[in-house]
Amino acid sequence: MPIHEEHLIRPENLVTHEQLVIDGVDVSGHWSTFIESRVVTDYNEALQDEIAALPGGEQIHRCWQCGSCTNSCTVNAINPDFNPRYWIYLIRMGMESELLRDRDIIWQCVSCNKCTYACPRDVFPEGVMKATAHWLELKGHTPKSPSMHFDEEFAGQVFATGRIEEGRIIRGFFARTGQALMQDWLVEMVKRLLRHLPVKLIVTMGLANVLKPRTRGWGRARAAIEEYVHEREQVQRRALGLDALVKAAASELDQPARGAQP
Ligand code: SF4
Ligand code: SF4
């Protein structure tokens, strides 16, 4: 399928001759501009299946490239390079190296879900964006995002106690992402809470911070949830071939060390 959006033409693929005369006609400069054809050889034939194995990506195969997601996208309105339709196209075609060129902006989806409502095929493009950002992290193409750190902190607390306590989540999130706890906006928010919340509630929140209360009888539910999460992680690792990647990386690291031995 041809790609029509002009900004998708990579500047390095545009070629212009400063001086060119063809059959006596001067076509120098702008008139001789043409687009070099792209040759893609490194397909990842499993790319669509890898994205579909992650939460949110399951319906990617339903896309028919109508472009409604991109047309309605909040981020695309600010940055035309943010193009869900195009990335879904690349994923379905297995063009991994092309997708990786945009690795630094895919995470910018703000989850407004306008695309989800616009999509006539129930692809859930917002979910595909999240799955793609997750895929980039799992494959080591991008560092773990703040959003992933938050999710892990949140889930970790739920697993441990069967409930969440906002103060501890914020502290844990800041520690994971190397942020100072005393931030102006946070101090202001706490001040306002202290001014407006009932004293009893403030005391309860303070105690919860220290005592880390648990949901009664949480143990069995936790075991079942952990088993499910572990099962899903294994499915995802298999789909993405992560164990093979880790093994290959480990043996690569091993090579020079062996070579260095007398
Ligand atoms: S959810 Fe993400 S991809 Fe969809 S419209 Fe909003 S910003 Fe764009
Ligand atoms: S709106 Fe849906 S069907 Fe259309 S391009 Fe986007 S994901 Fe594909």
Residue that is written with structure tokens 């697993």 in the block: 159
Mean pLDDT by 10 residues, the chain (262 residues): 62 86 90 80 90 96 96 96 96 94 93 96 97 94 89 90 86 91 86 85 78 84 92 92 84 66 49
Residue 214: its pLDDT value, please? 81
Q: Is 127 in the pocket of ligand 1 (CB under 6 A)?
A: no
Torsion angle in degrees (nearest 10) through CA of 245, 250, 251, 253: 130
Cα(110) to centroid(ligand 1), Å: 6
Residue 41 has a pLDDT of 76
Best of 3, 72, 119, 130 to mutate for ligand 2, by most ligand atoms within 8 A of CB?
119
**Which amino acid would we find at residue 229?**
V
- Nearest atom in ligand 1 to the alpha carbon of residue 113 is 1
> How far does residue 259's CA lie from ligand 2's centre (Å)?
51
* Per-residue pLDDT at 6: 64
Ligand 2 in contact with 118 (CB < 6 A)? yes
Residue 5 has a pLDDT of 64
The residue whose CA has the least distance to atom 5 of ligand 1 is: 73
Q: How far apart are the C-alpha atoms of 224 and 111, rounded to whole Å?
A: 29
CATH 1.10.1060.10 placement within the chain: 47-138
pLDDT at 96: 93
Quote the distance between the C-alpha of residue 50 and its chain's center. 13
The pLDDT of residue 1: 44
Which residue type sits at 102? D
Which residues, in sequence order, are CB contacts of 206 under 8 Å at separation 6+?
none
What is the pTM (predicted TM-score) of this model? Answer: 0.76
- The pLDDT value recorded for residue 4 is 54
Integer CA distances (angstroms), 103 to 3, 29, 128, 222, in order: 19, 33, 14, 35
Q: What is the pLDDT at residue 212?
A: 76
Q: Give, in words, the CATH class of 47-138.
A: mainly alpha
E-state strands within the chain: 14-15, 21-22, 25-26, 34-35
**126, 134, 147: which to mutate for ligand 1, most atoms within 8 A of CB?**
126
Q: Is ligand 2 within 6 A of the CB of residue 119?
A: yes
